[in-house]
Amino acid sequence: MRKNTLLIIVFVFLLVGIVVGWIFFFRSRNSENNEPVPGFSMLPTNNSAISPKTEVSSAPIPQFLKLWDGEVASPAIASKTIVFFDKTHGVFRSLLPLLDVFKEGKLSETVFSNTFSIVLSPNYKMSLIGLYQGQTKRFAVFDFQQNLSRLLPEFVKDAAWSSDSNQLLINHFEPQQETFYFSTANIDGTKESKILEIRLTDAVMFYAPKSAILFYQKPAPDLPSERFFNFDLKTKKLTVVDPTSIGPNIGGFGFDMLPSPSGESIIFSSTDQTGSKLSTFVFNLKTNRIVSALIRRRSLRPRDCLSNTGKAKFRAMIHSLNLISEPAR
């Protein structure tokens, strides 16, 4: 009797186990065929198919303007301070190198818009600013120390600093008479004195030290610069130099020049008609000879400027303010 009872109990347990197993089997199959229903979950999910959202900044990309000829990214060296013009915001800024860190500051609160050129004075206290008033080109002098700007007269077609920063060399234009001439004047445009009458409608001028001016006619597109001029203010002697006669493989295309602070030499560069074969030289104005040939690079002005002593040449790398000092030779 006990044996039969024990067998019945074992059979019941086996039967219950089989039934429970089949029920679990069918429930698991149904759960695999059903689509998951979104809902609250205590477990974190990681969906690799969804890429993270990237925020795009709408802030303008900073642009910097050369202080000695109005192009991009070249600082001017004033003792230990680097001065530059922030074209994005229209203000003058400075960088003070402290060990390996540059401390940035704002030189003035005055905002200049629609500018096309910025030329720092040799004493680093003022700036000659070219700007548009409507469709008209005008020039103004801004004094950093006084935070004051002076608009020059309308007859000023172009201007350049004297070496002592006390005068301006002016390309004077009278539209009614259609006359052009060079003159000197005070930094506010007063006390103008005519020095040379020459018809250059788009002259590039430099007021070199030791009483001389350098200038050339900016050529039309695809045309070469045929010559540049050296005018001695004391002797009134005008010297004409043909760039193509200076040396082999020198063309008058892409012509660019920058006088040294001593007034005895200039850095100039030019290319051939195709824009290749760039030649960059230091040229002695007294001997009319090439002093040295510089390393060939893509352009002269976006990278090179002379120190105030003329003994070193600084190169500003575009999109950064890394300075490399090289012998001026």
The single residue listed with the structure tokens 């006084």 is 146
Where in the chain are the domains?
60-151
Name the strand (E) or helix (H) holding 223: none
- What per-residue confidence (pLDDT) applies to 15? 63
As a whole number of angstroms, the distance between CA 176 and CA 199 comes to 15
4 pLDDT exceeds 90?
no
Q: Please list, in sequence order, all residues whose beta carbon lies within 8 angstroms of the beta carbon of residue 231, skipping any fewer than 6 positions away.
A: 182, 195, 196, 212, 213, 214, 215, 237, 238, 239
- Tens of pLDDT, residue by residue over 69-113, are 333 334 454 456 677 777 777 887 777 766 666 677 777 778 888
- Tens of pLDDT, residue by residue over 293-304, are 664 444 444 444
Q: Please list, in sequence order, all residues whose beta carbon lies within 8 angstroms of the beta carbon of residue 172, skipping any fewer than 6 positions away.
A: 155, 156, 157, 180, 181, 182, 183, 192, 194
- What per-residue confidence (pLDDT) applies to 25? 55
Alpha helices in the chain (DSSP H): 2-33
Mean pLDDT of the chain: 68
- From the list 212, 222, 235, the residue with the least C-alpha distance to 272 is 222
41 or 14, greater pLDDT: 14
Name the strand (E) or helix (H) holding 99: none
- Tens of pLDDT, residue by residue over 38-64, are 333 333 333 333 333 334 444 444 444
